[in-house]
Amino acid sequence: MSGSDEVEIPEVDYVSGSGIPVRGNDIDTDQIIPARFMKVVTFDGLGEFAFFDLRFDDDDNPKDHPMNEDRFQNSSVMVVNSNFGCGSSREHAPQALMRWGIDAIIGESFAEIFAGNCLALGIPTVTADSETIQELQDWVDEHPDEEIEIDVEAEEVTYGDTTIDVTVDEAQRKALVDGVWDTTALMKSNADAVREKAKELPYVDDEAIPEAE
Partner 1 sequence: MSEGTLYDKVWDRHKVTTLPTGQDQLFIGLHLIHEVTSPQAFGMLRERDLEVAYPKLTHATVDHIVPTADQSRPYEEDAAEEMMSELEENVREAGIEFSDPTTGDQGIVHVIGPEQGLTQPGKTIVCGDSHTSTHGAFGALAFGIGTSQIRDVLATGTVAMEKQKVRKIQVDGELGEGVEAKDIILEIIRRLGTEGGVGYVYEYAGEAIENLNMEGRMSICNMSIEGGARAGYVNPDETTYEWLKATDYFQENPEKFDELKPYWESIASDEDAEYDDVVHIDASELEPVVTWGTTPGQGVGVTEPIPAPEELPAEKQDTARRAQEHMRVEPGETMEGYDIDVAFLGSCTNARLPDLRRAAEIIEGRQVDDDVRAMVVPGSQRVQHAAEEEGLKDTFEEAGFEWRNAGCSMCLGMNEDQLEGDEASASSSNRNFVGRQGSKEGRTVLMNPQMVAAAAVTGEVTDVRDLQEVTVA
Q: Which residues bind partner 1 (CB under 8 A)?
A: 4-5, 7, 24-26, 28, 30-31, 34-36, 38-43, 53, 58, 82-83, 86-92, 95, 109, 111-113, 116-117, 120-121, 130, 169-171, 174-175, 178, 180-184, 186-188, 190-191, 193-194, 197-198, 200-205, 207-210
CB of 81 to partner 1, least distance (A): 8
By C-alpha distance, which of 92, 69, 91 is closest to 19? 69
Nearer to partner 1, 42 or 61 (CB): 42
DSSP code for 130? H
Residue type, 5: D
CB of 189 to partner 1, least distance (A): 9
Q: What is the 3-state secondary structure (H, E, C) of 25-47?
A: CCCEHHHHCCHHHHCCCCCCCHH
CB of 35 to partner 1, least distance (A): 5
Residue type, 97: L
Cβ atoms < 10 Å from Cβ of 121? 18
CB of 15 to partner 1, least distance (A): 18
